[in-house]
Structure 1
C-alpha cells in the first residue's frame, strides 16, 4: 500500500520532556509514520527550567516576539530549557508531546526551517505554529487529526516477554487473578486530597479481597513523595492481597505494561489520558477513578465522554464502594482498530504535503 512512499527516508527530531507517558505517545506517532516511510530518529531530551516560564513563553508567542532573527539564537532557548544541544543533522520533521515541549517544538521548527507535529492540547496557542496537531479533542482546524485515544506505542510481543521475565524474577504466578491499580496525582484539573488516597486504597483493596484476586499497584511521578509515604502505610494493612507494588518516587520501576498484560481488570486515576489510553490497548475492563475536587476542562471532559459513550471505560468516584462494582466484561466495547494503524492512514497525506 505504501511501497512507493516508503522509499523516502525522514530524519525525525523527537523532543521529549523525560515523562514516560509523553514519550510513548511521541513514539506511537513515529511508529505510525514508520508504516509509511523509512525513519531515522534523533532524540533531544530537554527540561523546562521552571514551570512559571510557560506563561512567559505563551506571552512571547501571543505577541509574535519570536519572529525576529535575534530570538533565533541558541542562547534564547537555553534561557528556558536545560540540556538543549544543537543538532548538526538536516531534520525533515519534529515530533513532540506535552505542554513543556510546545515552545521548543515551535522554536526549533523555525531555527531548522522544518515541519513539526505536536501531540496534545495547544493550551490556547495558535494552531498556525504547527504543521500538524494530533489530539483526542476536536481542534476545528485543517491541520489536525482527532483520535479517540492517544497513539501510545505498544509492542505486544515484547510486552509478553517482559511479563514472562517479570513473573520469573518476582515469583509471580501467571494463572492467578490480578486487579491493576494505576495511581497518578494532581493534573488536568484533578486535585487529590489525603482522604481521596485513603478512600482509594481501602475501597480498592476491599474489592480485591472480595473477588479473591491479588493486586498490582503502582504510583507515578505526579503522585508525590508525601502521598506515597501515606499510601505505603495504608497498603501495609493489605500485604496478603498484594502481589506486587511500586512506589515510583521511592523506586521508579517501569511496570505498567507488564501489569496491564497480566491483569484481568484495570483501575486508573482519571487525570491521566496517557494511562487511560495505554490501558485500553489491552482490551480489558478499564475503570477510571476521580477525586472529590475536579476543575473541569472542556477538552478533557469531551475525551472522557467519548470513551464512555463508546463503552470503552466506566468511571467511579473515589468515594464509591468499589466492592459493589459490576465486573461483567460484556458491558465493554473493546477497540477493534489500534490508533497507530488508524493514524498511519490519516497521517500519510499530511506528510506528503509537508515534503512535496
Structure 2
C-alpha cells in the first residue's frame, strides 16, 4: 500500500495544529503517511459568518482559497486527506477538499457549516457528536505514551503513596475562568507544603497567559533543594516544550483554564487533578466534557481553596488512568470510519 498523502491546514495556533497532528499521528499507526503543512489565515475584514455564507451558497472553492486565504490551488498538490482544527480553517478545509477531491477531517465545532461537507468530524463534546460522520474522542495528541514507557520514563505512584515527582501546568485568566491573587498564593503554598512534608519535587510549566508575577515567584522557587525541580518558562522556551513534565511526573496538577492541557495529561496516562479558582464557570459543552473525564476516572477536580496535601492524596486515590494507548484507540476508530485507510 502506498503512503497516504496528508495535508494539515493550520491557523498557526499551537492548541489547534497539535490536535490535527494528533489525528495524523493516529492515522500513521495504521498506514504510512507523507505529511505536509500549510498555514491559512482568515483576513480580519471578513467576518466568520460571512465566510460561511460564501462557502455554503456556492462561491467557487478556487475563489475562496485565492481571494480569502491567498492560496494558489496548485500549491495544494494532490493530497489524499486534508486535516484541520480551529474555526478559521473550516472554509479552507472544505474548499481544498472540493478542489482536490481529497477526504477531509475536521476537529471541533462546525459553527454554521454543513456536516455533509466533511468526511469525518471529531469532537470531544457529546452534543456535537450526533450524526453518521461524527466521532467523540479524547482531545487528540501526537504523543505516544507507549514510547515514553518503553524509554523507562513512566514513574508509577502506588495508591496511598505520596508522589516523589509531580507536574504542575498553570495557565491564567481565560474566558469565564478567573484567578485571584489568593488563588495563586494558595497554589504556590500547596506545592511548597508537598515539598516540605513529602520531599516532592515539582516540574512546573507556565503559559503565555500566566501573570508575570506568578511566573517570577515560580522562578524564585526553582533550584536544588527547593520545591521546584524544573521550571519550564514558556516565555523563554516557547510552546511544545512539556516533554519532561509529561514523561517524568508521577502525577500532574493542571489549572482548570486549559482543557487541552488537561486532555494531554490524560492522554499520557497520568493521574490528573484539575484545580479550580474561586471565580470560574464553563460553557455547558466543556463542563460535560470534564464530567466525562471524571466519570471515566481519568481526571478529578479540586478547588484551590480546598487544596492541601491530604485532600490531594485523597483525590489521587480516586483516579484510574487510561489502561489503553489512546493513539491506538483513535487509530482503530478512524480506520472504521475512513475507507481510505484500508485501501
Asked if 1:38 is matched to 2:28, the reply is no
More displaced 10-residue stretch of structure 1: 262-271 or 231-240: 231-240
- Compared CA separation, residues 88 and 318, structure 1 to 2 (3 A): same
Q: Distance in 2 between matches of 1:295 and 1:256?
A: 26
Structure 1 unaligned regions, length at least 5: 1-6, 79-83, 165-175
| 2:221 aligned counterpart, secondary structure | helix
- Compared CA separation, residues 65 and 334, structure 1 to 2 (3 A): closer
Structure 2 unaligned regions, length at least 5: 154-162
Deviations along 1:309-356, one digit per CA (max 9) or x if unpaired, are: 121111112333333324255422221222221222221243217998
| 1:300 aligned counterpart, secondary structure | helix
Q: Distance in 2 between matches of 1:15 and 1:193?
A: 37
Q: Distance in 1 between matches of 2:334 and 2:150?
A: 31
Asked if 1:151 is matched to 2:140, the reply is yes
| 2:125 aligned counterpart, secondary structure | coil
**8 A contact 1:217–1:246 mirrored in 2:** yes
Q: Distance in 1 between matches of 2:296 and 2:144?
A: 25
Q: 2:23 — aligned with what? A: 29
Return the TM-score normalized by structure 2: 0.82
1:23-102 correspondence to structure 2 within 5 Å: 23-48=17-42, 50=44, 56-62=47-53, 64=55, 67-69=58-60, 71-72=63-64, 74-78=66-70, 87-102=75-90
What is the RMSD computed on CA atoms of the aligned residues? Answer: 3.1
Deviations along 1:131-181, one digit per CA (max 9) or x if unpaired, are: 21111122211111112x2221124576579998xxxxxxxxxxx922211
Q: 2:213 — aligned with what? A: 230
Q: 1:112 — aligned with what? A: 100
Deviation at 1:92, TM superposition (A): 1.4
Q: 2:197 — aligned with what? A: 210
Q: Distance in 2 between matches of 1:62 and 1:209?
A: 59
Q: Distance in 1 between matches of 2:133 and 2:207?
A: 33
Q: 1:172 — aligned with what? A: none
**8 A contact 1:198–1:234 mirrored in 2:** no
Deviations along 1:227-259, one digit per CA (max 9) or x if unpaired, are: 1x2113333563421111122124426431211
Deviation at 1:198, TM superposition (A): 3.5
**8 A contact 1:150–1:339 mirrored in 2:** no
Q: Distance in 2 between matches of 1:345 and 1:159?
A: 21
Q: Distance in 2 between matches of 1:146 and 1:60?
A: 26
Misfit runs of 4+, over 6 Å = 160-164, 353-356
Q: 1:345 — aligned with what? A: 332
**8 A contact 2:145–2:268 mirrored in 1:** no
| 1:245 aligned counterpart, secondary structure | strand
**8 A contact 2:65–2:92 mirrored in 1:** no
Asked if 1:334 is matched to 2:326, the reply is no
Asked if 1:292 is matched to 2:284, the reply is no
Deviation at 1:61, TM superposition (A): 1.1
**8 A contact 2:9–2:93 mirrored in 1:** yes
